[in-house]
Chains A and B, each alone.
Chain A
Amino acid sequence: MSTASEAQPLQTGTIAEAHIQVKDLTMAYGSFVVQQDLTFTIRRGDIFIIMGDSGCGKSTLLRHMVGLKRPAKGQVLYEDKDFWAADPVERKEFMRNFGMSYQGSALWSSMTLAENIALPLQEYTDLSAADMREIAQLKLALVGLSGFEDYYPSEISGGMMKRAGLARAMALDPDILYFDEPSAGLDPISSSLLDDLILQLRDSLGATVVIVTHELASIFAIGNNSVFLDAEKKTMTATGDPKQLRDEETDPKIHRFLTRGKT
């Protein structure tokens, strides 16, 4: 059975497993509370899905975890270290191990795709320009954009921008990948290729992946842990393997979500 009560605080003996922990997190914009009392654990190597109704605060949760918004209450722990209690310099050190892909791609519009991917490489490695370009070409090839290295974001379609954003998130082969609605706007084949890519990244690089998504096919194909945020109750109502939730969860809302309303 997977319910909110299963998200226990970290127990000794599983320290090596827990990669990211969220404890009693409350997210608010001023006095408007978005979500409260969020507590869940993401293990190393998990492909963790954040799901919920539209407007429940999934992207906001992501922003809290990557350092873009301070929590109103609660903690975000990376390998037991409190992320938000650290000073800005330490936080930047943490953030170097994240790769984030945004809902709107957030590509730097004054740079070509290759330059977009090369920027993180430029900042954090000593590679030569030629090497960086090769790596950029490789990353673009992995997302199916071979040949578009010298295009500007305004010259490619929305779906292509999305994939380029993913390539940039992977540039430094980060430990943790955050994807905000990666499949939105992608055709079914690209979406399935993306699923394969995510699995490969987890298997070969040992990356932990946190995905905000609605795409049920992907959720069941690759997700092995999840949290469900309820917009009305403003808290989490379930956590665990999505396939288990679909089969065993008794909450009607979650059941309808996971079966696309075919209750």
Chain B
Amino acid sequence: MTDETTDKGYQLGFAAPAADTLQISLAGSWKIQHSLPSATQLEVELKKHPDVRKISFDSSAMTGWDSALLTFLVRTTALAIQNKLKVDESGLPDGVQRLLQLAAAVPERKGAHRESSKVPFLARVGNRASAATGSTTEALAFVGEATRSLGRLLRGKAQFRASDLVLTIQQTGSQALGIVALISFLVGVILAYIGAAQLATFGATMYVADLVGIGMARSMGAMMTGIIMAGRTGAAFAAQLGTMQVNEETDALETLGISSMDFLVLPRMLALILMMPLLCIYSDLFGILGGLFVSVMAFDIGIVEYLHRTQEAVQIRHFVVGVINATVYGVLVAIAGCYQGIKCGRSSSAVGAATTSAVVSGILLIVIATALLTVIFNVLGV
């Protein structure tokens, strides 16, 4: 007879009432406040008695039990099955026997266990590469579908609600005026400070108007607006469409025969295409104002002087370049946002991932497009 210590609340004992039977005596309180006994003692005992064919229980001295007892019994039974022994449950309290029966009632679903396997490094590299090519193809397919959708719009065959377009225009355009104004003004201020400080060494401080004017009109206005839109609108599109995916709302549209490209993506793309040029010009003006503010306050350039210089230096072509840039950015942000939203997975963490990807890819595309467009405009001599 061997005993396990009692300060844990329970008592575990072993006896051999017959040559082929090992009796486990359970005494004391078997509750989860104490630690759970492991089955190692049982393993030791089984090795000591190799002729054992059956395990039985004696719980007459048990004062209380809960899941601790059940867990121990499950482990014991597993061990018994492993060693091909029979288990006699009659010595256990009634309630315990019924619970054990219930737990075994529905057989384990084969193949439901998720295997965690260690994938070798090369395999992981391969998996990542094929996933990347897959997603590039998907993205290109999305762009293609979006273009066809625009085509349908031009032929008057697109299915979407005008009220959705108007609402998105309001959200993208008029609700962004405040933040665009603020950021553009500050960018103008920054440009003016940096520029004027350098120009002062040549005594050419008044050319700061040129710097700010051309900088904002040609490039910074569009870029700042693009980045603001990527963060605010691209994320919003991804979150809206992603949540619709999670709620099966896009499925409901599909079964109704309404293309989610036409109904959801098209109004959003249109809204950005319409609003970006306008916001760009608005941004340019505020940038110039910012430069004016700094020049007048810090560098003693008169208001009229500054404005006159700006008017001379900044030609229409600079504004046109900026507006073309802005329109391209609008399309890119819309595509990035909507694409991530539509291919979103079906959980809340997927919506978060989609939103993040939308903003990051939007900004990335904006910068790449800027580089390309700068080269193109340079080559064209615009």
Contact = CB atoms under 8 A, between A and B. Distances in A.
A67 B255 contact: yes
Interface centre among B111, B249, B255, by most A CB within 10 Å? B255
A95 B257 contact: yes
A68 B247 contact: no
Interface in A18-71: 32, 55, 66-68
Nearest to B111: A32
Contact of B252 (A55, A92, A108, A123): A108
Contact of B249 (A109, A120, A122): A109
B254 interface: yes
Given A123-B159, A231-B109, A232-B110, A104 B257 contact: no
A179 interface: no
Contacts of A119: 256, 258
A83 to B, nearest CB: 13
Contacts of A123: 159, 256-258
A231 B107 CA distance: 12
Contacts of A67: 254-255
B155 to A, nearest CB: 15
Interface string A118-156: 011011000000000000000000000000000000000
A109 B111 CA distance: 37
B89 interface: no
B45 interface: no
A169 B43 CA distance: 61
A256 to B, nearest CB: 11
A100 B255 contact: yes
B256 A106 contact: no
B58 interface: no
A220 interface: no
A85 B191 CA distance: 61
B49 to A, nearest CB: 38
A231 B252 CA distance: 27
A68 B257 CA distance: 11
B138 interface: no
Contacts of A32: 111
B256 A68 contact: no
Contacts of A55: 109
A111 B10 CA distance: 61
B66 interface: no
Contacts of A68: 251, 254-255
A98 interface: yes
Contacts of A120: 256
A96 B256 CA distance: 6
Contacts of A84: none
Contacts of A231: 109
B248 interface: yes
Contact of A106 (B110, B159, B252, B257): B252
Given A108-B252, A232-B110, A96 B247 contact: no
B247 A106 contact: yes
A1 to B, nearest CB: 27
Contact of A92 (B107, B109, B111, B257): B257
A232 B255 CA distance: 30
A102 interface: yes
A257 to B, nearest CB: 13
B95 to A, nearest CB: 20
B255 A104 contact: no
A102 B248 contact: yes
Contacts of B110: 232
Interface string B219-261: 0000000000000000000000001100111011111111000
A261 B107 CA distance: 15
Contacts of B255: 66-68, 95, 98, 100
Contact of B247 (A95, A109, A122, A232): A109
Nearest to B254: A68
A100 B255 CA distance: 7
Contacts of A66: 255
Contacts of B256: 95-96, 119-120, 123
Contacts of B109: 55, 231-232
A58 B243 CA distance: 24
A263 to B, nearest CB: 13
A123 B256 CA distance: 9
A59 to B, nearest CB: 10
A232 to B, nearest CB: 7
B118 to A, nearest CB: 20
A255 to B, nearest CB: 16
Nearest to A122: B161
B252 A100 contact: yes
Interface in A188-215: none
A170 interface: no
A85 B247 CA distance: 29
23 contacts: A68-B255, A93-B257, A95-B254, A95-B255, A95-B256, A95-B257, A100-B255, A102-B251, A104-B247, A104-B248, A106-B247, A106-B248, A106-B249, A107-B252, A108-B244, A108-B253, A109-B247, A109-B249, A119-B256, A123-B257, A168-B252, A231-B109, A232-B107
Given A95-B256, A106-B248, A107-B252, 13 more contacts: A55-B109, A68-B254, A93-B257, A95-B254, A96-B257, A100-B255, A104-B247, A106-B247, A109-B244, A109-B247, A109-B249, A122-B161, A168-B252
The 10 A-B residue pairs with the shortest CB-CB distance, nearest first, are: A106-B248, A106-B252, A92-B257, A100-B255, A95-B257, A96-B257, A66-B255, A102-B248, A108-B249, A120-B256
